[in-house]
Structure 1
């Protein structure tokens, strides 16, 4: 299993554990050089968004993966976590609807949690 797929699975599970809403994984490696996967999720309020980010950072860190950068921590409305091969976007519900990354990256392949096991 590729490193990016392992990281994606870990991040997905960390978001799921903290009850992240509508977690989506988009495989973008065939259409972009910026990453292999985008993970998009949202929280119901600023506290949950922060908890989601903390959970991902903790789980990936324990497994030896450190972020290249994390942006948006001060706003808690859109936090971008760049791990190189994967990029995690954690939104407030309102900002997720506004920015609609799924539409922008619709040429990517949406994959399920089960497909990360392959």
Structure 2
């Protein structure tokens, strides 16, 4: 099974919004095979808590403009790992240190990457 067209649209909107807020290491994964609840993950990193929150706010604003409504938000008070669940897409915005520690890319390494059209820093 592959991610839906709507999920891919949301991934690209969210990735562009993250890039606009200077997010680092933006990665999208198609998790539709192993996860029946969502189609895609978008992972992005911020350099500090303030940057993490700005990235998450920018993504949420962009997806709201596109008609996507968040089903759940977590982590806004700490600014270390913000999770935004839009149903077809789950966005994880990490502080750099937490991204390395939790290493979601390694946990989901069997899932294919979704090509992104933003200038991502590697």
**TM class, shorter-length:** over 0.9
Structure 2 unpaired stretches of 5+: 118-122
Rounded to whole Å, the distance in 2 between the matches of 1:17 and 1:29 is: 27
Structure 1 unpaired stretches of 5+: none
Q: CA deviation at 1:32?
A: 1.5
Aligned position for 1:84: 87
TM-score (normalised: structure 1): 0.93
Contact map agreement 1:31 1:107 (CA 8 A) in 2: no
Q: Residue deviations 1:93-113, cap 9 Å, x none?
A: 000000000011111101221
For these two proteins, the number of residue pairs brought into alignment is 114
Contact map agreement 1:49 1:90 (CA 8 A) in 2: yes
TM-score (normalised: structure 2): 0.90
Rounded to whole Å, the distance in 1 between the matches of 2:31 and 2:108 is: 8
**Secondary structure at 1:109's aligned position in 2?**
coil
Alignment of 1:68-107 (within 5 A): 68-107=71-110
Rounded to whole Å, the distance in 2 between the matches of 1:35 and 1:13 is: 20
RMSD, matched Cα:
1.1
Aligned position for 1:9: 12
Q: Residue deviations 1:56-78, cap 9 Å, x none?
A: 01101111111001101001000
Contact map agreement 1:12 1:39 (CA 8 A) in 2: yes
